[in-house]
Amino acid sequence: MLTVVDLEQARSIPLERFGGSCANRKRVVSLDGALGKVLARDIVSEEGVPPFDRSTMDGFAVRAADTFGCSEALPAILTLVGEVEMGVAPDAACSSGTCMRILTGGQVPQGADAVVMLEQCEEYGDGTVGIMRAVAPGDNMVFKNDDVKPGEPVLRAGVGIAPHHIGSLASMGITECEVLDDVSVAVISTGDEIVDEFRKPVGAQMRDVNAPMLAAAVRACGARPVRYPIVPDEYDALLSAVRRALEECDMVLVSGGSSAGQRDNTARVLSELGELLYHGVAIKPGKPTMCAAVREKPAFGLPGHPVAAYFMFLEVVRPLLARMCGAGDAGGRVRRATLREGIPSNHGRAEFVAVRFEGEPDCASRLKGGQGAEPHSEGASGKASRGAFDEDGREAFASPVRSKSGLISSLAAADGYIVIGRNTEGASAGQRVDVRLFS
Ligand SMILES: Nc1nc2c(c(=O)[nH]1)N[C@H]1C(S)=C(S)[C@@H](COP(=O)(O)OP(=O)(O)OC[C@H]3O[C@@H](n4cnc5c(N)ncnc54)[C@H](O)[C@@H]3O)O[C@H]1N2
Ligand code: MOO
């Protein structure tokens, strides 16, 4: 029997049940394998970076005080006492009235506290250098430990490791780090008519759309998909596939067989193995979605129709998976837009509607100045008299994309989707909406 919930409950029930207990396995990876992983503990450097005062320009290391008041007309004349070799600690120091030749990245010698750029100096060839621009202490150089101070945390546990973090770790000489272990997600397609995407369908067979798509969606969350062989519409076959997947993975996704037909086994299998938390969501498409707890692991039954499976993954599975991966709730990016045309929707369920953005002239000036704004068609809700603006100040318009839940390529024309509430007559032209972006 269907235990129907609304979309918000479909999302919150698994989050409450499984969201707190996860993401605790850790492993050590080398920097090569660290990209995209979530750091498991704070990074504190034992070393300071840079380990010495360092020039950021080609020129001459000086005592800044020696250059005060100098100009092109009246250069400060300093005695050249040597040259800093790259990668080697200087063999001389700068005392008052002296300077040393230095290249970008060279160690600023003792006594010097600034560097004058080459272009602002003139070598006279007699062992002296004319300085034509005054510098302040610290100009054109960085000091020892400016980037990283020993003992200070540089990266915090929970951060998603990006390329610049890997650069930072390398600079500290940290070549491996502890990260949260991958969350593994079993992806199972079921249906007698489904063949894998490498085979040519014969008769009334169809290629598996859901498994490659859901595996990619799992990967996009930072988790590791594990694909299992396609399961026929047989109870025992699905029971043993799901049982095995739950032993091997942290979460299971089954697509197909989710409604209440004779050959739809997913709900029966999940009830047999564990506790069905809900079966049925008041949303179109996506109605037969279910969630179960099997030995405290989450198992979702998603609709066979690919568009429905994708929307329900994004709305219901992704928030939990993101939490399990240690990345917060990761609701996806949202962009505000104004609907170009009305969308009727009055079947007592909330509805996902794919939309695309329409190109519009840049309205930044109108937004900022607030003058000369032309009103747009007023929605039936009366809420919007002007368009919505994105963060760049561009006015964004969205139009519905005709789509059906079995037609995955219809989404290729869409940039994202909106959710029309359950107790409405639909959405009206001119209404402002939050478009959940696909990417
Ligand atoms: N009499 C009723 N029929 C249906 C109802 C209903 O309430 N009463 N609900 C419809 C809705 S809504 C959906 S959604 C689907 C749910 O289907 P199932 O989850 O049981 O899935 P199947 O029946 O196995 O497949 C539905 C459809 O999707 C295709 N499919 C399945 N798996 C894949 C895959 N991996 N890749 C590509 N396509 C797949 C399958 O061939 C079917 O065409 O039920 C409606 N029916
Ligand atoms: O609700 Mo079904 O999930 O229309 O495609």
Is 374 domain-assigned? yes
Question: Which is the closest atom of ligand 2 to the Cα of 287?
Answer: 1
Distance 269 CA to ligand 2 centre (A): 21
Residues 170 and 305 reside in one and the same domain = no
Choosing from 230, 259, 408 the residue with most ligand 1 atoms within 8 A of its CB, the one to mutate for a pocket test is: 259
Atom 44 of ligand 1 has which residue's CA nearest to it? 259
Is 369 domain-assigned? yes
CATH number at residue 286: 3.40.980.10
Whole-angstrom Cα distance, residue 256 to residue 82? 77
pLDDT for the residue 393: 63
Give the Cα-Cα-Cα angle 182, 317, 256 (nearest 5 degrees).
Answer: 110
Residues 30 and 176 reside in one and the same domain = yes
Is 174 domain-assigned? yes
Pairing state between β 26-30 and 176-180: antiparallel
Residues 69 and 135 reside in one and the same domain = yes
Cβ-count burial 122-152 (b if 16+ within 10 Å, e if not):
eeeeeebbbbbbbbeeebbbbeebebbeeee
User: pLDDT below 70 — which residues of the chain?
Assistant: 1-2, 21-24, 327-331, 359-394
Domains identified in the chain, total number? 4
Is 418 domain-assigned? yes
CA-only gyration radius of the chain, Å = 31
Question: How many residues are recorded in the chain?
Answer: 439
CATH number at residue 162: 3.90.105.10
Ligand 1 pocket by Cβ (under 6 Å): 189, 191, 193-194, 206, 208-211, 255-259, 264, 285, 287-288, 303-306, 308, 405-406
Distance 230 CA to ligand 2 centre (A): 21
Residues 196 and 281 reside in one and the same domain = yes
CATH number at residue 400: 2.40.340.10
Ligand 2 pocket by Cβ (under 6 Å): 284-287, 303, 305, 308, 405
Question: Which is the closest atom of ligand 2 to the Cα of 283?
Answer: 1
Residues 63 and 175 reside in one and the same domain = no
Is 386 domain-assigned? yes
* Domain boundaries, position 77: 54-142
Whole-angstrom Cα distance, residue 389 to residue 308? 29
pLDDT for the residue 36: 87
Residues 257 and 286 reside in one and the same domain = yes
Is 156 domain-assigned? yes
Phi, psi of 121 (to 5 degrees): -130, 160
pLDDT for the residue 136: 98
Give the Cα-Cα-Cα angle 370, 371, 373 (nearest 5 degrees).
Answer: 90
Residues 35 and 175 reside in one and the same domain = yes
The residue among 324, 345, 365 that closes a domain is 324
Nearest to 129 by CA among 66, 51, 215, 198: 66
Angle, helices 235-248/266-273, rounded to nearest 10 degrees = 50
Distance 300 CA to ligand 1 centre (A): 15
Residues 30 and 115 reside in one and the same domain = no
Residues 200 and 105 reside in one and the same domain = no
Residues 30 and 170 reside in one and the same domain = yes
Residues 174 and 37 reside in one and the same domain = yes
Question: Which is the closest atom of ligand 1 to the Cα of 191?
Answer: 24
Distance 297 CA to ligand 2 centre (A): 25
pLDDT for the residue 395: 74
Whole-angstrom Cα distance, residue 228 to residue 124? 77
Whole-angstrom Cα distance, residue 186 to residue 197? 18
Atom 10 of ligand 1 has which residue's CA nearest to it? 259
Question: Which is the closest atom of ligand 1 to the Cα of 302?
Answer: 19
| Ligand with minimal distance to 305 CA | 1
Question: Which is the closest atom of ligand 2 to the Cα of 284?
Answer: 1
Is residue 98 within 8 A of residue 79, CB to CB? The reply is yes
ipTM of predicted complex? 0.97
pLDDT for the residue 325: 86
Residues 36 and 92 reside in one and the same domain = no
Cβ-count burial 59-75 (b if 16+ within 10 Å, e if not):
bbbbbbebbeebeeeeb
Give the Cα-Cα-Cα angle 331, 336, 338 (nearest 5 degrees).
Answer: 140
| Ligand with minimal distance to 287 CA | 2
Model confidence, pTM: 0.77
CATH number at residue 90: 2.170.190.11
Atom 7 of ligand 1 has which residue's CA nearest to it? 259
Is 219 domain-assigned? yes
Q: Which whole-number Å values give the CA distances from 106 to 30, 88, 91, 95, 339, in the listed order?
A: 30, 8, 12, 18, 59
Question: Which is the closest atom of ligand 1 to the Cα of 230?
Answer: 35
pLDDT for the residue 409: 96
The residue among 92, 112, 142 that closes a domain is 142
Is 380 domain-assigned? yes
pLDDT for the residue 261: 83
- Cβ count within 10 A of residue 422: 16
